[in-house]
Structure 1
Amino acid sequence: MLPEYHILIVDDDVELRRLAGKFLRENGLKVSSAQDAREMREALAAETVDLVILDIMLPGTTGLDLCRELRRGSDIPIIMLTARGSDVDRIVGLEVGADDYLAKPFNPRELLARIHAVLRRVRSTGTGARTGGPLLRFSGWVLDTRRRELTNPDGAVVDLSTGEYDLLLTFLEHPQRVLTRDQLLDSAKNRTATGFDRAIDIQVSRLRKKIERPDGPEMVKTVRGAGYFFSPDVERA
């Protein structure tokens, strides 16, 4: 159980909010709910929220728009609720910054498991035991694993979503080594790979846009038929 965490469910389905909220509370979580963008903003302003469960199909401002809005000023973990079988929704959700997705209708136990996995990633600095200092340096960049903060060569802080941070940390922990999509999903997402290979491809694409410059070297290389390869040298300080 995770009694210290506060979950916000944003969905216009009253029955879904009631049933999911009841199940999560029974499993030790604090739960608030909102039916639209206005109520979500009010809930976030009123209390600290540790994770948002956000439905894509909302009246007025859509869940995708709200995900973009949250990502502009926060790295709060987001689990998107999508229509079953809608790969487009899943892809777009990941592109705009969601950390995970779950198709409706869903088993409440699976929702709890995904919440548990995402929050576990947030409260840890990654998988496995790590030695050395909290700073990881590569090509003039610095990742502070204690503060979960990335600084570019000009000294500016670059915002990362939870998924982007976990993916970058996985690359920095295994530099100059080919990592398969399944390895990246298991390590960076801390959950069993779902077979949805596009998910990791999207995360890699988003990370590339943040750490690679158009006139600079390619840091994350695609190895055809194998996976991805992080090319810079990495130093821990």
Structure 2
Amino acid sequence: VAKLKRFYEFSLRLENALRSLLEALTSPPYAPMQHLEREQALAKQFAEILHFTLSFDELKMTNPAIQNDFSYYRRTISRNRLNNQQLDAENEVNNEMANRMSLFYAEATPMLKTLSNATTKFVSENKTLPIEDTTDCLSTMACVCRVMLETPEYRCRFTNTDTMLFCMRVMVGVIILYDHVHPVGAFAKTSKIDMKGCIKVLKEQPSNSVEGLLNALRYTTRHLNDDSTSKQIRALLQ
């Protein structure tokens, strides 16, 4: 329970960090591509956050015991309160904190949900900043990752599979954030993300390493089932 609390609190820190990074990577007077070239360390940090987020959520999705164990803890708290008893653990995770944590872990991909909400909130709160500045930053990062994954001269520089997995997670992460904040999403024809190319790159990898990422695109995006999504893209994700 204490470990689950640490991850929940870390998600709140990630939320604040992501909004600060978005502000730094989208603010005038530079265009998104200029920002990514000028602030490469910040772009790398953004990528690291997405890499961790997708890694965490993949593990969470394959461990249903997390929610079962936490539900048992909450029932134990309630039962002890009726008997005027208190667990030592309650000093660290009281009923109010347990309620917030429960909502967090009830999500299929809790960290990604946190970042999606943070990105959406960033866009809605910064009304003077054109939404294209944010979406262009995300689509540019997706394009860079796709090119690195599909171009032989880049791929030959990857010394291990971890680097490829890093690029794939970052690519999927920015696609999902883009889909949450763009009015028509990442799958429409007008999208600045080459979704066919991105999905094709993922499908070329061993299925055991990308199934979680494909599931993230299937189940955590907002616009996949919209009328604007082509049948070809839907078929690729089936």
Q: Same fold (TM over 0.5)?
A: no
TM-score, normalised on structure 2?
0.28
More helix by share: 2
TM-score, normalised on structure 1?
0.28
Which structure has the higher relative contact order (CA within 8 Å, separation 6+)?
A: 2
More strand by share: 1
